[in-house]
Amino acid sequence: MAYTVDARLCPQNHRCPLLAICPVEAISQEGFSLPAIDPERCIECGQCMRHCGKHAVHKVEHDG
């Protein structure tokens, strides 16, 4: 599994508060753009998914 941010749900108009929530700094964001979750760093704790106010973080199957 991996975590991904849905561009249709994320308003991309503010600094993502999840950057401070992720315990392993797996989430990055250029300006107010769509945040990216690094699958190499992510420990799949689910904190970002629970805390996103827009419910924009989803769990997805890895591709292959």
Q: How far is the CB of 34 from ligand SF4 (least distance, A)?
A: 14
Does position 60 bind ligand SF4 by CB under 6 A?
A: no
CB 49 within 8 A of CB 26: no
Which two three-digit tokens encode residue 39? 């699958």
Q: Compute CA distances 45 → 11, 14, 30, 33, whole Å.
A: 23, 23, 23, 23
The three-class DSSP label of residue 28 is strand
Task: Please tell me whether residue 47 binds ligand SF4 under the rule CB under 6 A.
Answer: yes
Task: Give the contact letters, 1-40, x = binds to ligand SF4 (CB under 6 A), - = no.
Answer: --x-----------------xxxx-xx---------x---
Q: How many residues bind ligand SF4 (CB under 6 A)?
A: 15
**For residue 51, which amino acid is it?**
H
Residues near ligand SF4 (CB under 6 A) are: 3, 21-24, 26-27, 37, 42-48
